[in-house]
Amino acid sequence: MAETSDDAKDIEKLYEYGERLNEAKDKSQNSEDYGNIIKTAKSSSVKARQLAAQLIPRFFKYFPGLSVNAVDAHLDLCEAEELGIRVQAIRGLPLFCKDTPEHLSKIVDILAQLLTAEENVERDAVHKALLSLLRQDVKGIFSLNCERLSIHTYCILF
């Protein structure tokens, strides 16, 4: 029962952080809230981690100083044991590149590796994420270094 109560508190706090960030005119002033969202990616609560997987990419562009921590935490969510967390995290990957294209190469690499996922739902999320990235930046994806040809091949074959 106490674990359920802690889960509910984690989720409630995440909603508070997200609400404050949504309402803030200058979101960069709320870096503590964003940092707390990132920390929640390590929570034991499945629902809290799923919510963190939604919130981390949504506010990513406003906190360049926390970008390394945010990407690392999000990638950990992509490797979670729970399918729901992984799928939610995969869906958020294209958002990292929307306003910060310098992450395109890394995100495409990760998605290419995830193409081998066994679960259909997970593979479908990877396909949709790759299609989203293609729509965002066709030239950027296909102009990645030639040394990554195997990744391009995977992406083209999907």
In this prediction, residue 142 carries a pLDDT of 63
| Confidence bin at 119 (pLDDT 50/70/90) | very high
Across residues 115-142, what is the average pLDDT?
A: 85
More confident residue, 156 or 71: 71
Does 26 or 153 have the greater pLDDT score?
Answer: 26
Q: Give the residue with greater pLDDT, 90 vs 136.
A: 90
**Residue 28 scores a pLDDT above 80:** yes
The percent of the chain in helix, strand and coil, each rounded to the nearest 5, is 85, 0, 15
pTM (2 d.p.): 0.84
- Comparing 94 with 147, the larger pLDDT belongs to 94
What pLDDT is attached to residue 108? 85
Q: Is residue 72's pLDDT more than 70? A: yes
Predicted pLDDT of residue 113: 87
- For residue 88, count CB atoms less than 10 angstroms from its CB and return exposed for 0-12, middle for 13-18, buried for 19 or more: buried
What is the chain's mean pLDDT, rounded? 87
Look at residue 65 and tell me whether its pLDDT is greater than 50: yes
Q: How far apart are CA 107 and CA 101, in angstroms?
A: 10
Structure tokens at 150: 């195997």
* Topology, domain 2-157: Leucine-rich Repeat Variant (1.25.10)
- The encoded tokens of residue 125 equal 């999320």
Give residue 1's pLDDT: 45
| Mean pLDDT of the 27-47 span | 94
pLDDT of residue 147: 45
Residue 151 has a CB neighbour count (10 Å cut-off) of 20
Using the predicted structure, report yes or no on whether residue 12 has a pLDDT greater than 80: yes
Whether 95 and 60 have beta carbons less than 8 Å apart is answered as yes
Number of H helices, E strands in the chain: 9, 0
